[in-house]
Amino acid sequence: MEPSTGLTFLPDPITQFRQWLELAEQHEINDPNAMSLATVTAGGSPRVRIVLLKGIGPDGFQFFTNLESDKATEIAVNPNVALAFHWKSLQRQVRITGTVSKLPSADDDGYFATRYRISQVGAWASAQSRPLKNMSELSSRLEEMNKKFEGMDVPRPPHWGGFNIKPQTIEFWAERPYRLHERMLYTLDQNGWQQQRLYP
Ligand SMILES: Cc1cc2nc3c(=O)[nH]c(=O)nc-3n(C[C@H](O)[C@H](O)[C@H](O)COP(=O)(O)O)c2cc1C
């Protein structure tokens, strides 16, 4: 096999992440912004689910959800979380660890206003993560909320909003032949982001 010096990685992992995400946006069939979000329960058990990355700010990575969902309850107890992106079309992965904080409610309002009306009404109708008897119960709650907000803009429910994940580590992984994959780990310390290659 040809010897290789590998990919070039920028000093700033956020800029590097944006470049990989842009590439994924051109190649993934759907949801290039889908990320696994791992939280820890009060009992110390990990839980993971997919959410959509809805913004990358100077402070980190943002997503929106129901503030009374299991994930939000878990975050309230333990703000340490992990993210993983897998772009199959690129054969690349990004893993992030960090701490979560609530976004300002102005950001919640701003993003909520961009959602389709039916999703806005759905945010009122869904008690995310709570037991649902059957799908007709959801339909009647949707109908009820549709009536409630008829003829007006749907306001953001108080139980719906966003979180920011401030990254502590960001690891880029790129597939290479014969499992000689390329890994670059960035760790944030008092001097800024440090870069370290890892064995695959
Ligand atoms: C592709 C995809 C995108 C999703 N995006 C979100 C999202 O942005 N926010 C959200 O609350 N749930 C999203 N979900 C649903 C979550 O995976 C999960 O089922 C839900 O948030 C409840 O999780 P919890 O009970 O752990 O709180 C998404 C699921 C998939 C498969």
Measured torsion, CA atoms of residues 82, 88, 93, 97, in degrees rounded to the nearest 10: -10
CATH number at residue 94: 2.30.110.10
* Domain residue limits at 194: 13-115+158-198
pLDDT of 99 reads: 98
pLDDT of 3 reads: 56
> In angstroms, rounded to a whole number, what is the distance separating the alpha carbons of residues 112 and 34?
18
Q: Model-level pTM?
A: 0.96
Q: Give the tens place of pLDDT for each residue, 81-140.
A: 999 999 999 999 999 999 999 999 999 999 999 999 999 999 999 999 999 999 999 999
pLDDT of 1 reads: 56
Residue 124 belongs to a domain: no
Is the distance from the beta carbon of residue 63 to the nearest atom of ligand 1 less than 6 Å?
Answer: yes
pLDDT of 64 reads: 98
pLDDT of 2 reads: 58
> Mean of the per-residue pLDDT values for the chain?
96
Average pLDDT over residues 26-51: 98
For residue 50, what pLDDT band results from cuts at 50, 70 and 90?
very high
> In angstroms, rounded to a whole number, what is the distance separating the alpha carbons of residues 85 and 58?
19
Residue 90 belongs to a domain: yes
Is the distance from the beta carbon of residue 51 to the nearest atom of ligand 1 less than 6 Å?
Answer: yes
Token pair of 171 as six digits: 């690891």
C-alpha separations of 96 from 22, 37, 89, 101 in Å: 18, 10, 20, 15
Pick the range with the lowest mean pLDDT from 5-9, 27-31, 35-39: 5-9
Residue 52 Cα: closest atom of ligand 1: 8
Name residue 101's beta-bridge partners. 164
Is the distance from the beta carbon of residue 93 to the nearest atom of ligand 1 less than 6 Å?
Answer: no
Residue 3 belongs to a domain: no
pLDDT of 82 reads: 98
> For the chain, how many structural domains are there in total?
1
Name the more confident of 4 and 22. Answer: 22
Is the distance from the beta carbon of residue 137 to the nearest atom of ligand 1 less than 6 Å?
Answer: no
Residue 150 belongs to a domain: no
